[in-house]
Amino acid sequence: MEEKYRKVLTKIQEADAIVIGASNGLSISEGIHIFADDSSFQENFGDFRKKYGFRSIIQGCIYPYPSQEEKWAFFSRMFEYFLYNKETSPVMKNLYELVKDKNYFVVTSNIDAHFTLAGFPKERLFEIEGNCRNLQCSHGCHNRIYPGDEILSKMAQNQENGKVPPNLIPKCPECGDPMQVHVEVDRNFLRDQSWQTSYQAYQDFIDKAHGKKLVLLELGVGARNQMIKAPFMKLTSLEEYATYITFNKGGELYIPDVIAAKSIGIDGDIAEVLQQLVQMK
Ligand SMILES: [Zn+2]
């Protein structure tokens, strides 16, 4: 095992470019499981669970709330749960420590905004499905995303009986209708200028890495993931000097034969793997 870790560190150290791809499994290693009815969900969202019967954060994101006051009670709670007064987790600290001096780019489907929290700069980050702290018009009347930290904190702290006060509900500055959180929960999700810029930055980063020592570092991405995993595998097979490194928990690790010779897979708790790597660095 130690040899494998050493190999991972060497690949990272020698890389000209590192693309980090992260999905649900990374959040789970931090203790956040948006698909689970676990103790953390019950502790932080128990009132919603009881009132509406949903059993996970993701179900809460798509629940048809009877009113805006109730909808925002959930989304502001989710914001608070992910971010408010939150310290960066050891997992994210270690990940940052591992790559901070390297030429890297991050692509993630996680909506918890933990990469920015950990100090990863916006210019090196593409959040495919948005994040919990930005807002957009709920029917996408215009193509712009707004920062929502202030109003979301306010709503999180001023909810009563599962409702926020009506005067706090954020309204679209163009059409006056309610806003919604900029997370891909429905077809109205906006790919505005900032989303396009991030997407382009991701493409440019990959283009520039062509023919160089490229490391594709995949963290907690499911075997059938088409958004992150499929392009990573394709790049690994196309790029001569690419290395595909994947960390995932028991049973989730998947490396196709065709790229096996250019791949390193570590089966284990991502939190422990990152800790180990940083200690050995
Ligand atoms: Zn609008």
Distance 173 CA to ligand 1 centre (A): 7
197: CA distance to ligand 1 center in Å? 22
pTM, two decimal places: 0.95
Please tell me whether residues 161 and 202 are part of one structural domain: no
CA of 177 to the centre of ligand 1 (A): 6
Boundary (domain end) residue, out of 116, 149, 183? 183
Q: What is the pLDDT of residue 109?
A: 96
For the chain, what is the domain count?
2
* Last residue within a domain, chosen from 157, 183, 209: 183
Task: Determine if residue 172 is labeled as part of a ligand binding site.
Answer: yes
| Whether residue 215 is found in the same domain as residue 266 | yes
Task: For 222, list phi and psi in degrees, rounded to 5.
Answer: -65, 155
Closest CA to 253 of 214, 218, 278, 211: 218
Q: How is 130-169 classified by DSSP, letter by letter?
A: EEEEEEEETT-SSS--EE-HHHHHHHHHT-BTTB--GGGS
Query: What CATH number is associated with residue 274?
Result: 3.40.50.1220
Read off the pLDDT of residues 16-59 as tens digits, 9 standing for 90 and up: 999 999 999 999 999 999 999 999 999 999 999 999 999 999 99
Q: Looking at the structure, do residues 64 and 24 belong to the same domain, yes or no?
A: no
Residues, Cβ < 5 Å to ion ligand 1: 137, 141, 172, 174-175
61 and 146 part of one domain: yes
State the CATH number of the domain containing residue 60: 3.30.1600
Same domain for 211 and 97: yes
Do 272 and 196 belong to one domain?
Answer: yes
Residues 237 and 159 in one domain: no
Statement: residue 85 has pLDDT above 80: no
pLDDT above 80 for 251: no
Last-in-domain residue among 183, 218, 253? 183
Residues 100 and 155 in one domain: no
The answer on 176 and 117 residing in a single domain is no
Q: Exposed, middle or buried by CB within 10 Å (0-12, 13-18, 19+), for 254? A: middle
Q: How far is the CA of 190 from the centre of ligand 1 (A)?
A: 12
Q: Examine the domain organization and report whether 233 and 272 are in the same domain.
A: yes
pLDDT average, residue stretch 234-242? 96
Q: Give the dihedral sign, CA 50/89/100/17.
A: negative
Which residues constitute the domain of residue 272?
A: 2-33+88-131+192-280
Query: 234 and 156 in one domain?
Result: no
For ligand 1, the distance from its centroid to the CA atom of residue 138, given in whole angstroms, is 7
Neighbours of 172 (CB within 10 A): 20
Whether residue 115 is found in the same domain as residue 224: yes
Name the band, by pLDDT with cuts 50, 70 and 90, for residue 254: confident
Q: Residues 97-154: pLDDT tens digits?
A: 999 999 999 999 999 999 999 999 999 999 999 999 999 999 999 999 999 999 999 9
132 is in an annotated binding site: no
